[in-house]
Amino acid sequence: MERENQTRAKKSVQFYDTSLRDGAQSNWAMEMRHGTIDAIAGELDQAGYSYIELPVNAMTAKHQVRFMKENPWDIAHLLGRKITRTRKNQVLMECLDLLDYGQPRSIIKLFYQLTFRATGAERFFYMVNTRNELDRHCPWLVPFGKSLGLDFNPCICYYPSPRLSDDYYADLTRKLMAYEPHTLWLKDAGGLLTAERLRTLLPAIQKEAKGVPVDLHTHGMSTNQGQVVVEAMKLGIDGIHTCVPPLAFGSSHVSIFNAMHNARILGVDHNITDVAALREVERRLRIIGRIENLPVDFTPLEYDHSVYRHQVPGGVITNLKEQLRQIGIAEKLDEVLEEVVRIIEDLGNPIMITPASQFIVSQAAVNVATGERYKEVLDSMIETALGVWGWEDAGVPWMDPNVRDRFLSAPNAKYLRDKYQRKQEIEAEEGSLAKIRESYGLTGASDEDFMLQVIMKGDSEIKQVQPPRSYYTGKEPLLLLLKELSKDHDLRRLEMKKGNSVFQFGRR
């Protein structure tokens, strides 16, 4: 079997980088600052990746302003300037829908026109079977993206459920082919794939893809990631999504160095041409991580079978831990995860990926914090029961009827039902940008300033934005390095060597 699989392997695989977006989300709770990107983007661009994924969407924009006091447009333009050799990929998942309940299409279109213009991204990806977007949004979003000259890369989201057989994924792939995708992604956000499951799943997708490249996007939650990546290469996968340590391992993606090693063992060529540049990225990330008190010592996780029960995705678990710490119940993580299992069952086993995963872990945290299940019901739970976030893949037909009745009898259920109906009407409208600008009093503002106020619902948080910080990692010009070192008053003596020359600096 080993020899047979190797003969089916392609002679080459394309490695793709998602350190800036999913690696930072998974291991650093989205703490990817402007200065960090500035310090590593140039080297990432030299490495030879097929694509680099960009941390630019409405969700990260809101996080950037609220928690890091940075202007996300500065990051978008930085990426456009710094990454010029490698093709860039960007999220198009109607994230504005998650931030403000219902936006006319003119706002959604303007946001993505601005982001793609600033970053120079050349393709977009979109998760198609998490909220029934294939029927609800793809018919207008995909043509819009293509009208901008972008390639379409739909994500086929894997989830271990008896409802989601190989036939389900084959049928989904057939439907996607009508949109002429550039690449298909098999997206395993929970890290729940196994090599055994992949052996039938991937060929089923490849058969219907009819030659369209298929990439693998898998996290490390179950510790099966390494075997899954190897099996995918044996089965002729076209691309593998990777990260540079310390943004690899843990709940994140496979390390680019490990992926290259295993490709070599399999006799599979790859596209990485500058390993030294990637080692420099790793070195700088570790320096910045220590400066910012972010974790830098991730290793592959120990096997924990509970991930197949709670199914919390790799990009969510780190944020959950941080949020529990912030509200003072970090020690209740296991309790919250057990509650997640119960809520998944209550909701009819929805696909645990954005946005359902965020909603469920939030409700679980509330249930544990209050000491009573559903004492306080989040609006997102009521919206889920109403079908706002999808129907079959959202689990609505299989919800516990008693739980659904409880959600729909909540005091604000009628308000949310009416709001959802209005939302559908608004989203179906193109909408007048001029009128929306006027409602914000921003008729003279730039498009980027206007859009940021739409996302942040005003300018109170925007006024707190500070100039981006810089990090000095030892590759700066000597005078700049000495200037920065002089600010450390505990440093009394510095010795520098170059060849046979020795330079000594001291503080009196």
Boundary of a domain, candidates 397, 428, 459: 428
Domain region containing 411: 307-428
Same-domain pairing of 191 and 280? yes
3-state DSSP call for residue 344? helix
- Give the dihedral sign, CA 492/497/502/503: negative
Q: Do the beta carbons of residue 238 and residue 215 sit within 8 Å? A: yes
Going from the first residue of the chain to its last (508 residues), give the mean pLDDT of each consecutive group of 10, the final group possibly shorter. Answer: 48 96 93 96 97 91 94 97 94 56 80 93 84 76 91 92 91 95 95 95 98 96 92 97 96 96 96 98 95 86 83 83 87 94 94 88 94 95 92 91 96 91 76 86 92 92 94 70 65 74 74
Mapped onto helix, strand or coil, the DSSP state of residue 105 is helix
Mutual angle of helices 72-82 and 447-456, in 10-degree steps: 130
Residue reference for tokens 């392609």? 10
Helix (H, G, I), strand (E, B) or coil at 474: coil
Residue 465 resides in a domain: no
Residue 489 lies in a domain: no
Q: Do the domain assignments include residue 170?
A: yes
Instruction: Clarify whether residues 173 and 272 are in a common domain.
Output: yes
Q: What is the CATH number of the domain that holds 365?
A: 1.10.472.90
Cβ neighbours for 137, distance < 8 A, ≥ 6 positions apart: 94
Q: Strand, helix or coil at 302?
A: coil
Residue whose entry in the numeric block shows the structure tokens 């810089």: 470
- Looking at the domain assignment, is residue 255 inside a domain? yes
β-strand 151-157 against 123-127: which pairing, if any? Answer: parallel
Residues 248 and 327 in one domain: no
- Quick one: 25 and 137 in the same domain? yes
Burial (CB < 10 A; 0-12, 13-18, 19+), residue 84, is: exposed
Does residue 148 sit in the same domain as residue 271?
yes
β-pairing verdict for 269-270 and 12-17: parallel
Q: Are 220 and 191 in contact (CB under 8 A)?
A: yes
| 3-state secondary structure at position 254 | strand
| pTM assigned to the model | 0.83
| Cβ atoms within 10 Å of 82's Cβ, excluding its own | 17
Say if residue 171 is in the same domain as residue 90: yes
Burial of 335 (0-12, 13-18, 19+ CB in 10 A): middle
Tokens for 308, please give them.
Answer: 């197949």
Report pLDDT for 403.
96
- On whether residue 363 sits in a domain, the answer given is yes
> Same domain, yes or no, for 249 and 336?
no
Structure tokens at 286: 């570790």
Residues 268 and 311 in one domain: no
Residue that terminates a domain, selected from 428, 452, 467: 428
Q: Do 285 and 388 share a domain, yes or no?
A: no
- C-alpha 35/C-alpha 64 separation (Å) is 12
Report the phi/psi class of residue 59: left, alpha or beta, with left for phi > 0 and alpha for psi in -120 to 50.
alpha
The answer to whether residues 207 and 312 belong to one domain is no
Burial class (CB in 10 A: 0-12, 13-18, 19+), 11: exposed
* 178 shares a domain with 30: yes
What is the C-alpha separation between 94 and 126, in angstroms, rounded? 9
Taken in order 108, 111, 112, 114, the sign of the CA dihedral is: positive
Task: Report the domain count for the chain.
Answer: 2
Q: Which one of 291, 318, 353 terminates a domain?
A: 291
What spatial distance separates the first Cα and last Cα of the chain, rounded to whole Å?
A: 71
Domain CATH for 170: 3.20.20.70
Are 254 and 352 part of one and the same domain? no
Q: Tell me whether residue 361 is in a domain.
A: yes
